[in-house]
Amino acid sequence: MCSREPVVADGHVTSYVADRRHFSTQKIVIPHRNTAAASGVRPSMKTIGFIGAGNIGSTVARLAINAGFRVLMSNRRGPESLGDLIAELGPLAEAVTPAEAASRGDLVVVTVPLHGIDDLPVAELAGKTVIDTNNYYPERDGRIEALDSRETTTSQMVRDRLPDSEVVKALNSIVFLHLAQLARPKDATDRSTLPIAGDSSTAKATVTEFLTAIGYDVLDAGDLSEGWRFERGQPVYCLPYAADPEAMRDSAPGSRPTGAAPASRDTIARLLEQAS
């Protein structure tokens, strides 16, 4: 990750990040500082574990730190590979192994490619609420008949891998640059809404608390079986958060338009209904 230090100005925290292939010259701007306590998050949820530290993982970590959480960052290459990212994130961040992130996190964000779920630390994630950010990309993951036929969903596959965890699908339907830009205080009139899906109402409540704390409203789309409604190719996937939806539609990963626009609860609800 990029080793440049974050810049703080006018209440904004600006961080520089790299995409998977090259250093990006784009900035990630975290618009507002918040605190977990001010957002109504229970005191027991203090530490967020991350399995995966790519664009989504590192962006959510920045938002979490901005809200007063501690973050435990991990990836498949080991803690030593995360030195630059941890230096940027500051004293509330620690590089650990995936097993440590799972065991020590009060809430765990799994943000690895679909083909990486077989390596998840099953025992350490037992009893945990897990946010799954997965999408199905056949060109990356290979063709999976059960997904193509909608016999199952990506998050149901993660749930099957983690039978003793409570899996909630979230944070998969927004580009990381827009995720950083659209975070707002709880009382802001232009807060964006993110969809979630899960089989446990308790786990969904936990995830809702966290997403609320980092700057977003939440819309419950139903059980995990409904998670396909906000995956790639569906109306709610990425487009409603883009300032120029058509440019977003025509773009490729690594060259997404940077401009973001708030997406209201009504907008997200309407687009979920249009899924087919």
* Alpha-carbon 145 to chain mean position: 26
The Cα 127–Cα 244 span in angstroms is: 41
- Asked if residue 212 belongs to a domain, the reply is yes
Kindly state the average pLDDT of the residues 23-35.
47
pTM of model > 0.75: yes
Say if residues 192 and 216 touch (Cβ distance below 8 Å).
yes
Using alpha carbons, select from 95, 80, 85, 74 the residue that is nearest to residue 6: 85
Query: Is the Cβ–Cβ distance between 228 and 144 less than 8 Å?
Result: no
Is 110 inside a domain boundary?
yes
Provide the CATH number for the domain around residue 233.
3.40.50.720
Q: How many CA atoms lie within 13 A of 148 on its CB side?
A: 7
- The domain in which residue 197 lies consists of 7-273
The structural domain count of the chain equals: 1
149-170 confidence digits (pLDDT tens)? 999 999 999 999 999 999 999 9
In a domain, 2, yes or no: no
Torsions phi, psi for 96 (to 5 deg): -140, 180
Say whether pLDDT at 26 is over 60.
no
Q: How far apart are CA 234 and CA 151, in angstroms?
A: 17
Report the pLDDT averaged over residues 94-112: 98
157, part of any domain: yes
Q: Is residue 182 part of a domain?
A: yes
pLDDT in tens, 241-270: 999 999 988 888 778 889 999 999 999 999
Q: What is the C-alpha separation between 4 and 155, in angstroms, rounded? A: 34
Q: Span 47-61, mean pLDDT?
A: 98
Q: Has residue 1 been placed in a domain?
A: no
φ, ψ of residue 27 to 5 degrees: the values are -105, 145
